Structure formats: C-alpha cells, structure tokens
Amino acid sequence: TSKTTTKTPKARLSTPIDKSIKLDKKIIKDAIVRHLHCSLGTDENKANNHAWWKATCAAVQEQVLEQLRKTQKSHYLNDTRAVHYFSAEFLMGRLMSNNLHNLGMFEQTQQALTELGVNLTDIMEEEPDMALGNGGLGRLAACFIDSLATLDLPAVGYGLHYEHGLFRQEIKNGEQIERPDSWRDYGNPWEICRPESIQEIPLYGYVETKYGDNGRIKKEWHPGLIVKGLPWDIPVVGYGGKTVNVLRLWQSQASDYFNWDVFNAGGYLDAQKENVQAETISKVLYPNDETEAGKELRLIQQYFFSACSLKDIIRRYKRAHGDNWSRFSSQVVIQLNDTHPAIAIPELMRILLDRAELDWDTAWAISSNTFAYTNHTLLPEALEKWPARMFEKILPRHLEIIYEINHRFMLEVEKVWPGNVAMKQKLSIIEEGSDKMVRMGNLSVVGSFKVNGVAEIHSALVKKNLFPEFDHMWPGKLTNVTNGITPRRWLKACNPKLSNLIDDKIGSDWPLDLNKLQELANYADNAKFQKQFMQIKFENKQALAIEIKALTGIDVDPKAIFDVQIKRLHEYKRQHLNLLHIMALYRRLLANPNYDMHPRVFIFGAKAAPGYKLAKDIIYAINQVATRINNDKRVNGKLKVVFLPNYRVSLAEKIIPAADVSEQISTAGKEASGTGNMKLSLNGALTIGTLDGANIEIAEEVGDENIFIFGLTVDEIDALHKTGYNPFDYYDNNREIKAILDWLETDYFTPGKPGALASLKHSLLEGGDPYKVLADFESYSAAHEKVDAAYKDTTRWAKMAILNSAKMGKFTSDRSIKDYVERIWKLEACKVDE
Ligand code: F58
C-alpha cells in the first residue's frame, strides 16, 4: 500500500470531499439481519426497537472498526506527532446518527431498514445519551474530537469512563429531582474494552529519600493503594469516513492481587471494601459546574485518568523510541481541557525524575514543552485550588515536586520583580495561609508552553485581569482560540430539512467548508428561498410542538415565536432576567388584553447543580410562573412558558432546529465563550444577547442589523462596580421592576404558599444582585420589543434568519482546530491508506 501524508490540514480541506465508503443497501441489510440473528439471538419477527438499534449499531461498527484499524496502522507507520486531549468530560450524546452521516451511509441504512419494516428515526431514540459531561466544556471536547478526525489529524481523547453520567432531571411539582443516569445498563455497542492495555495507578502512602551510588538523592514513593485502570475505546469517525481516531476512557478497578491475602485470611468484607473504594473512582461524574472544593474523590479522579493516560502515551512512545526521551515533546502534545488534568504536569515530572532518572532541567524542558492549557472561566470561585494537606495524603511525591516547581518559579519572579514579596505571594503556585492551597491555574500556566482562552474577549480578559503578570513574564504564551461547533452534528444531522435545502442551493460540501454557507447570503432577499427557509423552520417547530406536548402536556402553537434559552442554570447566565421579563409581559397583558405582541413561547432547558440552592429556586420559579401563565385564559394564547425536563445533547438536537430566538444574556465578562449561541444561529435563530463571550464575534460576523444586542458592556459593568452598584436604585425607580419583584413574594404563582419564590427577590435586592440583572432589565425589555417588531415583518425576519445561517462559517470547530494546530499543536495531517 502507498502512504500519503499531506503537509498541512489545509490541503485536506481545499480538496473536495472524499467519496465516503459507499455501501450497498443490500450489504447493510444483510449485516443488520446477521447481527440480529448471530449477535442478539433474535429474529426479524421478534425484535423490538432496542434490538433493531443494537443490530444496526453492530452493522455500522463493522465499518468503523475496519477504518480504525487502517488509521492506527497509518499513524504507526508514519510515526506521527499527535495531540492528546485530556478532559475530565466528553459530552458525546448519541453516536448512531453522527456515525452514519460521517460514514456517508445514512440514506442507505435508512432505506435498508425501511425495507425491513423498521424506521431509523424511531430506533435512534433507543440510544441513551453518553452524558459524560456537564455542559459547554464537555461538549466542546466532543466537537473537537469530531473535527480532529475529520481533518485527518492524529489525536487521542483521554477521559474517564463514568459508570453514571450527568444525572437525569425530573421535574416534580415544579422542582428539580436528580435521578441516576445509567447509560450502560444494557451495554454500549460502540465501546471496545481493551484489557491488554490496563494500567496500574498508585495512590496514598509515603516518600522515602535514598542516596544513589553516585551520591545523588533518590526519591521512592511507597504507595498505600494500587488501583487498576481499564481502558474503553470509543471510535471517533471523521466526516468522510476515512480517519477513525479513538476516545479512550478509563474505568477504575480493584487491583486483584492486592487484597487476596486479606480475603484468604477470612477478611472477605475488608477485601470487598477495598474493591468498592477502587471502583468508586470512576463511578460518577461530579455534577457541579463550578469546582468541587476539597473533595478528595474528585482529585483522585483527576489523577487517576491523567496518570493512566500518561502511562499509555509513554508506552506507545517507547515502542517507537525506546528509552530515548529526546524526541518526546516533538512527538507528544497534551492539551489540558481546563485545570482538571493539571496534575499530569507533576506526574510527568515524577516519571522523568524518579523512573527515567533524568536531571531536573532536562525533565522540565520535556514536560513544559509537552503541555498546553485551555482556560474556560474567569469566575474566581471556579478556579481550582486543592488543600496541600489533601495532596500530601493522596499524592505525597507530587506535592514535593510541585514545591520544587514553585521554588524555581519564584526565582524567576525574583529576577523580574526583585524584592517584591507581594508579587511572589500573588503568583505563587502555593497559596499561603492557615490552610495552604495548591493553585491549579498557576501550576498550569507555569507548566505549559501555551495558554489559551476560548473567545477574543475572554482571552483579552485572561491577559488583562486573570494572569497579567504571567503575560508580562512570558510574552506570547497567552493566546486565543475561539471555540467552535461541529456542523455535522449541529446542522447536517440534527436539521436534515435545512441541510437538504442548503445542498440544493449551494452544493453539499459545506459540512467540510462551512464558509461556503456565505453563498446563501445571495438568496437572503429571494422571496422563494425565504419561503422555503421559513417553511422548514415552521415544520421543525411543529415537530418540537409535538415533543413539548409529549414531555410536558403543554400545547404550543408553532406559529408563535419560539424563544429559547438552553444551557446550565447559573446566576451569571441570568435565566432569571428572562423570567422577570416574561413576568413583565404577563403583567402588561393583564393590564391591557390588547397589548400588542406576536404570540411567544418561551422555552427553557437547564440542569442545576444539585447543591446550588438558588439555581434550583430559579427552576422552581420558572415552572410556577409557567403553570400560572399557561393556565390563564386572559393572555389569549399570546404567552406560553415551557420548561423542558432533562436538557441534554439529544434534546438540544430537537430544540435548536426549531428556535426563532436565541437567548444569550449573560452578564458581560462572565461567559467565556458560549457555544449554544453558535448552534442556534447556524440553524437560523436570531440572537438576543449581551456583548459577552463569542456573542461579540457572532455580531461581527452577522452584522449589527442581524442581532439584538443589549445591556452593559464589560467596561460599563466594571465602572458600575467601582462607583458602587445598588440594585435598590432600580427597584425604587422602575415601577415595573418593583411590581414584578413584589409579585414574587405573594402567593400568586404558588397558591397557598406565599414567599415560596422570595429567595429570588432577596438575591436581587439584599443579596446585592451580583450579576447586575436589574441594571440590564430595561435595555433587555427594549431589545425584546425590537425582536417582536422584527418578527412581525416576515420578509425582514426571513432575511435576518438566512443571514445568520450564512455567516456562521467562522464557528465550525474545524476552524478552531486549525487555529490550535497553527498556534499551539504544530501537527501535520496524516491520510489513512486505502
Ligand atoms: C464553559 N465552561 C464556559 N465548565 O462556561 C463556556 O462559556 C464555554 O463556551 C465552554 O466552557 C467551552 O469553552 C464549562 O462548561 C464546566 O462545565 C466545568 C465542569 C467541571 C467543574 C468546573 C466547570
């Protein structure tokens, strides 16, 4: 076979889409039936949807595994440099539709199943979401591995094989109830267990200092517990079906030999205890979308998957390069998705110092040229810090190494700011105090060769406010890579009607070259195209209306404006600003039944962290207000409020194609980027949003006339903060705000329970309104009046919606990945041999 490697990933993109594997319908049909019989032990007459789904997965997986084998062979033979994306979260969602589209076998499979009397859309509903992530950060990782495979880049995703992903949300009497998510109960047909690549991971214990023959000090860590890491591989199919990379997820297990003694001595229960402890590590995803302060298990999870992954990388490197470490950082780049895997930095140092016996400077040169770090938040409460005491107990050797990294770093600080103690305190990896803390952000910056933020404004604020001194010490280390989303999942697969229309208009290579959508702008004024575009939106809204009815019992009219806010529940994202405005509309309608507004359906989807009281109160408030409004005849069908339970990737795929309006209303400076904003706009929703995160770049792309921007800017928020913000100014001076907040304290929305929504009012007044909800209310309300006016002008709205889709080219995750390759990873594409 001939090997072809292209020099840059650009070369791959400028060529038209490769012919994906064209599989005959008959072959697919036979494979599905064969699996029904031979893998599942059933037949066409007995099989239910679940069995059909599994048989279809198995038939698809045959194709996937063949490409996986070829990809691995190509990467091995070419000894390629590869990126290793370390992430505690991968929010994959379902894989069937995505894999079929990326393999180019969706239509054939659909036809094959139809001939077997089975509906593909129905059986796809059988697949549980892989919800191994909380929100944007985890979904970004999923989009990135899709793009990496699509661009033929050698890459491995590394993470945790959680037994339970993010909790399933039920709503009972308006309140969020968390139920365990058991996504693997009936097996996951996509994953492959790799017992041949098990790793052993030490924990706890103590460090012994020894003197080697050469008089050099040697450190030996005597762990108190060893756990096994068992890898599960999920194939990641690139669009076009050529490159298939892997996502490798580690499951923890008890190390077998370790407790047999206890067992044989009759200590069956003690032995069981140790099993339970080891197996707890990968049991459950932490559902907090901030940090889990001081949770021992969380640090162990982070170390466990980082250490397993590093060992795996080193095993592969040694197969090609033996004990010669000199090429390590030119073959291996590790991207840290937030600080969660930052413990990999001292772990690599430990291996290089204690195992490979390299000297400090050599080890540090290798390590600090291997890691790069992505920051996803400026919120101080979300920056990870671990108590040094806890570190000492779980990872005693790593704490020593961190102290040494810090000591040497402090000498650098002294050179730049001689005698400046305050500066050392500020920059130190160790926060001094009664309880010493390890600052994982500082460790990540010191131990990486590049640090990036996730949108222009966010990266600018990382430089200006979060790490200004680091930027001064190492000019050029801090950079930006604006986030992106995969257009394969977020347009082609989730919105087939719009995708087909786009194919007809501009050809079918836009999924690989999203800037092509720009050509749609030529049709933005075309009456026929507008009609087609809006008809598809309408049909998607009809489909969502059916889903809403099924999930909540609420009837909504697809002719109303579908106004959508879907994201984790957080005060900074300001779902409560949306809610206050809904209450204002309700109040206006009650005061004046002829109040002029196009009917609107406000749709929410959001999970709250189980321990985040106010976030849960906001969910309750949304549901109570919804119930009151939806049952009030006086609003005349002009206003509906829907809270869709259990928001997740597969639900997003149904909501997004049906959205008219996208709510992106965070307090300026708080949302690092956002990615839902991109997905909604790509599907023709118009954004109402603040100048925050990627909204700013979206506005630049679509133009100010095609987006509804409102609210205070970052600078204005800063200024307001400095002069002293008093929410009572707004309460006392704006009658509408006062009336709404007071309304919350009555029992109008919670019959018989006055005060049940008071915590909301309280947080906005006595609580100081930390996210400036009241300061932005008027401007938000005015922006909504503009939305209403724009929608009433159907031609204008259609044009704006088309232009939103047309201008989203920048936000493909392929562009993000190309930026990473150019600015950070310096990778080359590697074509897979036929
Ligand atoms: C998100 N962070 C940002 N964190 O909030 C969002 O603006 C950005 O678009 C996205 O990352 C991708 O860059 C986020 O989702 C988490 O969920 C973490 C979960 C684990 C604890 C810390 C927060």
DSSP string computed for 663-725: EE-PPTTT-S--SHHHHHHHTTPEEEE-S-TTHHHHHHHH-GGGSEE-S--HHHHHHHHHH--
Q: Is 573 a catalytic residue?
A: yes
Ligand 1 pocket residue status of 695, Cβ below 6 Å: no
Task: Please give the structure tokens belonging to residue 703.
Answer: 């133009």
**Residue 246 to residue 248: CA distance in whole angstroms:** 6
**Residue 151 to residue 6: CA distance in whole angstroms:** 11
Same domain? 552 vs 504: yes
Report pLDDT for 8: 37
- The conformation of residue 591, written as its DSSP 8-state character, comes to H
Q: Residues 674-697: pLDDT tens digits?
A: 999 999 999 999 999 999 999 999
Residue 785 has pLDDT above 70, yes or no: yes
Residue 325 CB contacts under 8 Å (≥ 6 apart), including other chains = 352, 356, 358, 362, 366
Ligand 1 pocket residue status of 675, Cβ below 6 Å: yes
**Per annotation, catalytic residue among 376, 537, 772, 815:** 376
Read off the amino acid at residue 362: T
Is ipTM beyond 0.85? yes
- Our count of domains for the chain comes to 2
Q: Is 784 a catalytic residue?
A: no
Residue 9 has pLDDT above 60, yes or no: no
Ligand 1 pocket residue status of 290, Cβ below 6 Å: yes
Which residue of 91, 284, 377, 820 sits with most ligand 1 atoms within 8 Å of its CB, as the best mutation to test the pocket? 377
Q: Is 628 a catalytic residue?
A: no
Nearest residue to 584 via CA among 791, 782, 758, 751: 782
pLDDT > 90: what percent of the chain? 92
Q: How many CA atoms lie within 13 A of 761 on its CB side?
A: 16
Same domain? 451 vs 508: no
**Per annotation, catalytic residue among 109, 243, 291, 675:** 675
Which residue of 132, 137, 166, 567 sits with most ligand 1 atoms within 8 Å of its CB, as the best mutation to test the pocket? 137
Ligand 1 pocket residue status of 135, Cβ below 6 Å: yes
Report pLDDT for 268: 65
Cα of 726 from ligand 1 centre, angstroms: 29
Cα of 256 from ligand 1 centre, angstroms: 37
Phi-psi label, residue 458: left if phi above 0, alpha if psi -120 to 50, beta otherwise: alpha
Which residue of 376, 483, 678 sits with most ligand 1 atoms within 8 Å of its CB, as the best mutation to test the pocket? 376
Residue 17 has pLDDT above 90, yes or no: no
pLDDT band at residue 482, thresholds of 50, 70 and 90? very high
**Residue 602 to residue 589: CA distance in whole angstroms:** 15
783 in a domain, yes or no?
Answer: yes
> Do the beta carbons of residue 100 and residue 64 sit within 8 Å?
no
Kind and range of the H or E run holding 741: helix 735-745
Residues in a beta bridge with 236: 245
Residue 290 has pLDDT above 90, yes or no: no
Ligand 1 atom with minimal separation from the 454 CA: 13
Residues in a beta bridge with 220: 208
Report pLDDT for 271: 65
Same domain? 119 vs 30: yes
Residue 687 CB contacts under 8 Å (≥ 6 apart), including other chains = 661, 662, 664, 677, 680, 681, 695, 698, 699, 702, 707, 708, 804
Report pLDDT for 45: 97
Q: Residues 167-208: pLDDT tens digits?
A: 999 999 999 999 999 999 999 999 999 999 999 999 999 999
Ligand 1 pocket residue status of 377, Cβ below 6 Å: yes
Ligand 1 pocket residue status of 285, Cβ below 6 Å: no
Ligand 1 pocket residue status of 706, Cβ below 6 Å: no
Cα of 382 from ligand 1 centre, angstroms: 9
Nearest residue (CA) to ligand 1, atom 14: 137
- The conformation of residue 515, written as its DSSP 8-state character, comes to G
- SS3 of residue 479 by DSSP: strand
Q: Where do the H-state alpha helices sit in 79-153?
A: 96-103, 106-115, 120-124, 136-150
Report pLDDT for 22: 60
124 in a domain, yes or no?
Answer: yes
366 in a domain, yes or no?
Answer: yes
519 in a domain, yes or no?
Answer: yes
Ligand 1 pocket residue status of 291, Cβ below 6 Å: yes
> Do the beta carbons of residue 60 and residue 96 sit within 8 Å?
yes
Q: Residues 67-116: pLDDT tens digits?
A: 999 999 999 999 999 999 999 999 999 999 999 999 999 999 999 999 99
> Do the beta carbons of residue 220 and residue 354 sit within 8 Å?
yes
Name the one residue in this structure whose structure tokens are 């700011």: 417
Name the one residue in this structure whose structure tokens are 């709510």: 663
**Residue 814 to residue 76: CA distance in whole angstroms:** 24
Cα of 136 from ligand 1 centre, angstroms: 5
Q: Is 37 a catalytic residue?
A: no
Angle at which helices 575-591 and 735-745 cross, to 10°? 100
pLDDT band at residue 213, thresholds of 50, 70 and 90? confident
What is the average pLDDT across 447-473?
98
CATH of the domain at 33: 3.40.50.2000
Report pLDDT for 1: 32
Ligand 1 pocket residue status of 677, Cβ below 6 Å: no
pLDDT band at residue 15, thresholds of 50, 70 and 90? very low
Same domain? 559 vs 468: no
> Do the beta carbons of residue 818 and residue 828 sit within 8 Å?
no
**Residue 283 to residue 278: CA distance in whole angstroms:** 10
Report pLDDT for 23: 75
Nearest residue (CA) to ligand 1, atom 16: 289
**Per annotation, catalytic residue among 12, 161, 168, 679:** 679
830 in a domain, yes or no?
Answer: no
Cα of 133 from ligand 1 centre, angstroms: 10
Angle at which helices 794-806 and 773-792 cross, to 10°? 110
813 in a domain, yes or no?
Answer: no
**Residue 467 to residue 464: CA distance in whole angstroms:** 7
Three-class HEC string of 640-680: EEEECCCCCHHHHHHHHHHCCEEEECCCCCCCCCCCHHHHH
Report pLDDT for 267: 67
Nearest residue to 84 via CA among 22, 139, 159, 170: 159
Same domain? 560 vs 441: no
Ligand 1 pocket residue status of 673, Cβ below 6 Å: yes
What's the angle, vertex CA 44, arms to CA 43 and CA 46, rounded to 5?
A: 65
pLDDT band at residue 19, thresholds of 50, 70 and 90? very low
Ligand 1 pocket residue status of 693, Cβ below 6 Å: yes
Cα of 38 from ligand 1 centre, angstroms: 43
> Do the beta carbons of residue 59 and residue 38 sit within 8 Å?
no
Distances (CA, A) of 369 to 310, 479, 508: 15, 16, 40
Cα of 338 from ligand 1 centre, angstroms: 8
Cα of 85 from ligand 1 centre, angstroms: 16
Ligand 1 atom with minimal separation from the 382 CA: 22
833 in a domain, yes or no?
Answer: no
Read off the amino acid at residue 365: A
Same domain? 458 vs 566: no
Which residue of 289, 292, 678 sits with most ligand 1 atoms within 8 Å of its CB, as the best mutation to test the pocket? 289
753 in a domain, yes or no?
Answer: yes
**Per annotation, catalytic residue among 228, 568, 670, 772:** 568
What is the average pLDDT across 570-588?
98
Cα of 804 from ligand 1 centre, angstroms: 25
> Got the DSSP string for 364-418?
HHHHHTTEEEE-----GGGS-EEEHHHHHHH-HHHHHHHHHHHHHHHHHHHHHST
Ligand 1 pocket residue status of 813, Cβ below 6 Å: no
**Residue 27 to residue 108: CA distance in whole angstroms:** 10
Q: Residues 770-781: pLDDT tens digits?
A: 999 999 999 999
What is the average pLDDT across 127-141?
98
- The conformation of residue 432, written as its DSSP 8-state character, comes to P
Same domain? 463 vs 575: no
pLDDT band at residue 16, thresholds of 50, 70 and 90? very low
Domain carrying residue 84: 9-483+818-825
Ligand 1 pocket residue status of 692, Cβ below 6 Å: no
Nearest residue (CA) to ligand 1, atom 2: 137
Please give the residue that has the higher pLDDT: either 135 or 6: 135
Ligand 1 pocket residue status of 134, Cβ below 6 Å: yes
Same domain? 254 vs 392: yes
Same domain? 473 vs 614: no
Same domain? 435 vs 519: no
**Residue 88 to residue 99: CA distance in whole angstroms:** 23
pLDDT band at residue 12, thresholds of 50, 70 and 90? very low
Ligand 1 pocket residue status of 486, Cβ below 6 Å: no
Report pLDDT for 51: 98
Nearest residue to 439 via CA among 491, 380, 400, 384: 384
Report pLDDT for 18: 42
Report pLDDT for 264: 67
Cα of 645 from ligand 1 centre, angstroms: 21
Nearest residue (CA) to ligand 1, atom 4: 137
Ligand 1 pocket residue status of 137, Cβ below 6 Å: yes
Residue 594 has pLDDT above 50, yes or no: yes
Same domain? 514 vs 609: yes
Nearest residue (CA) to ligand 1, atom 11: 137
Residue 7 has pLDDT above 80, yes or no: no
pLDDT > 70: what percent of the chain? 95
Same domain? 429 vs 552: no
Report pLDDT for 4: 39
Ligand 1 pocket residue status of 123, Cβ below 6 Å: no
Cα of 721 from ligand 1 centre, angstroms: 25
Ligand 1 pocket residue status of 249, Cβ below 6 Å: no
Q: Is 568 a catalytic residue?
A: yes
Nearest residue (CA) to ligand 1, atom 18: 289
Phi-psi label, residue 294: left if phi above 0, alpha if psi -120 to 50, beta otherwise: left
Residue 768 has pLDDT above 70, yes or no: yes
Report pLDDT for 259: 59
- SS3 of residue 114 by DSSP: helix
